[in-house]
């Protein structure tokens, strides 16, 4: 299949391009490079021997999208392009609604004009807000707690309404839990700009000497060691989830919703100790107050993806940490280094 990958130069998009190529698909990347670098395309080529077609531009730009669809006859679209920093979304909500909601609507409008009716959308476990219980199932109530989360939830709702009005469309909403890890070549990985918001990139930067110590946000949660518990999933497993959705559902009309997680929870201290063992060095940390908006525990019930897509996560915590460390130690300054 020829697949348009919006945000394909980003963390999850680039790993998905590699898996698409490996499985005989042809990705076409569009990205405005606001949070990624063009060198990622060199790395994809280095790993796969194939350089994806690339057009630089913005999903909010209709004339750009018209050019993309006129240039490439794609069968389906995977829509990663978006902004994802929770803190920034509180400071700049309009920027988030503009990119994550308006950008998605614009993309769908231009897909419709180009007669393409198959879409996979990057959603997030953040749409569940503070779940009443874990593991989280797809039919749990949704309730986002910040503008980023609301932008994902709004985009989901818009896509549901749109699909209802256009029943021939296939729209798959994939709710990711906590993507971590890197390609096992050490050539691709997560390259956060500025101070990392997420746990594992922060731990990796402490391990490599870019930062002094980790702040652990709270050790008084009702969890086994008092620190927050999350469902960390290897980015390549996550990428494979997109391939499974494409293979099974690209031509199956309807609105399809799946959790992409492992079903396993790990605490902040579990992650820290796993990293220390792999990097063979101590990782200094101090206990800080809880981070606003954080929840105690969040992990998926991934049974639905297994039953319908035949997909489940394969890579364990050890592999997630080893691959993160290989990427971070080979590229201490990310793609800029
Ligand atoms: P990322 O920032 O690495 O990738 C997003 C890509 O989209 C970047 O390359 C960026 O340059 C591009 N982009 C942003 N705005 C754009 C625009 N207006 N037009 C064109 N390109 C644009 O992020 P990621 O971690 O790969 O996340 C991909 C998607 O998955 C995002 O939609 C994100 O919200 C969602 N998601 C991510 C996580 C996570 O923890 N990484 C969790 C849940 C959901
Ligand atoms: C965060 C976002 C969420 C987003 C998700 C994936 C917030 C409030 N939530 O969730 O919307 O979908 O990332 O991108 O930002 N931790 C530390 N020290 C750190 C960083 C994190 O102790 O420096 C802890 C957190 O308190 C949490 C765990 O590590 O318990 C994981 O944090 P993080 O990687 O930010 O993911 P989420 O909290 O799941």
Whether the CB of 86 sits within 6 Å of ligand 2: yes
What are the Cα distances from residue 248, in Å, to 78, 245, 251, 307? 14, 5, 8, 11
Is the predicted pLDDT of residue 337 greater than 70, yes or no?
no
Question: How many CA atoms does the CB half-sphere of 121 hold within 13 Å?
Answer: 29
**311 CA distance to ligand 1 middle (Å):** 22
Segment 138-142 long-range contacts (CB within 8 Å, at least 24 positions apart): 138/175, 138/257, 138/258, 138/259, 138/304
Structure tokens, 77: 């679209």
Phi-psi category of residue 181: left, alpha or beta, with phi > 0 → left and psi -120 to 50 → alpha: left
Predicted structure pTM score: 0.98
Whether residue 56 is predicted with pLDDT greater than 90 in this model: the reply is yes
Determine whether the shortest distance from the Cβ of 223 to ligand 2 is under 6 A: no
Query: Is the per-residue pLDDT at 48 higher than 80?
Result: yes
Length of the chain: 337
Contact 151, 100 (CB under 8 A): yes
Share of the chain above pLDDT 70, in %: 100
Question: Nearest residue CA, atom 15 of ligand 1?
Answer: 82
At residue 336, the pLDDT reads 87
Beta bridge partners of 288: 217
- What's the CA gap between 177 and 260, in Å, rounded? 6
Q: Is the CB of 268 under 6 A from ligand 2?
A: yes
Instruction: State the distance between the two ends of the chain, measured CA to CA, in whole angstroms.
Output: 34
Q: State pLDDT tens for residues 59-100.
A: 999 999 999 999 999 999 999 999 999 999 999 999 999 999
Atom of ligand 1 nearest to the CA of 35: 11
> What's the pLDDT tens digit per position in 151-172?
999 999 999 999 999 999 999 9
The arithmetic mean of pLDDT across residues 192-199, rounded, is 94
C-alpha–C-alpha distance, residues 215 and 87, integer Å: 16
Instruction: Give long-range contacts, CB 8 A cutoff, 24+ apart: 304-308.
Output: 304/137, 304/138, 304/258, 304/259, 305/241, 305/244, 305/258, 305/259, 305/260, 308/248, 308/256, 308/258
> Could you tell me if 238 and 15 are in contact, meaning their C-beta atoms sit under 8 angstroms apart?
yes
Domain regions of the chain by residue span: 2-181+233-261
- Annotated active-site residue 11? The verdict is no
Q: Tell me: the pLDDT tens digits for 246-296?
A: 999 999 999 999 999 999 999 999 999 999 999 999 999 999 999 998 999
Q: 198 near 281, Cβ under 8 Å?
A: no
Please give the pLDDT value at position 249: 97
Cis omega before residue 135 (within 30°)?
yes
Considering the segment(s) 2-181+233-261 as one domain, its CATH architecture is 3-Layer(aba) Sandwich (3.40)
């Amino acid at each position: 299949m020829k697949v348009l990958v919006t945000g394909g130069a980003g963390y999850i998009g680039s790993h998905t391009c590699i898996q698409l190529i490996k499985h005989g698909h042809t990705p076409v990347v569009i990205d405005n490079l606001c949070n990624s670098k063009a060198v990622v395309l060199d790395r994809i080529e280095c790993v796969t021997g194939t350089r994806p077609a690339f057009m630089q531009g913005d999903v909010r730009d209709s004339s750009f999208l018209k050019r993309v669809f006129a240039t490439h006859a794609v069968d389906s679209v995977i829509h990663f392009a978006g902004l994802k920093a929770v803190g920034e979304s509180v400071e700049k909500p309009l920027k988030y609604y503009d990119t994550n909601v308006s950008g998605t609507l614009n993309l769908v409008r231009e897909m419709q004009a180009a007669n393409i009716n198959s879409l996979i959308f990057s959603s997030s476990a953040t749409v569940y807000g503070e779940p009443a219980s874990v593991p989280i199932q797809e039919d749990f109530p949704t309730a986002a707690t910040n503008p980023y989360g609301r932008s994902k939830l709004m985009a989901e709702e818009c896509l549901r309404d749109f699909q209802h009005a256009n029943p021939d469309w296939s729209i798959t909403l994939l709710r990711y839990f906590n993507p971590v890890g890197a390609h096992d070549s050490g050539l691709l990985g997560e390259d956060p700009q500025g101070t990392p918001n997420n746990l594992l990139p922060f731990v990796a930067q402490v391990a490599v000497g870019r930062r002094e110590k980790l702040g652990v946000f709270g050790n008084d949660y009702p969890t086994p060691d008092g620190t927050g518990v999350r469902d960390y999933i290897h980015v390549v497993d996550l990428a494979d989830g997109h391939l499974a959705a494409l293979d099974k559902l690209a031509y199956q009309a309807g609105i399809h919703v799946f959790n992409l997680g492992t079903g396993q929870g790990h605490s902040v201290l579990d992650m820290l100790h796993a990293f220390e063992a792999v990097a063979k060095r101590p990782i200094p940390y101090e206990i800080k107050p809880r981070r606003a908006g954080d929840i105690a525990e969040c992990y998926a019930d991934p049974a639905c993806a297994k039953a319908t897509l035949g997909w489940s996560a394969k890579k364990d915590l050890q592999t997630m940490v080893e691959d993160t460390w290989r990427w971070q130690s080979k590229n201490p300054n990310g793609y800029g280094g």
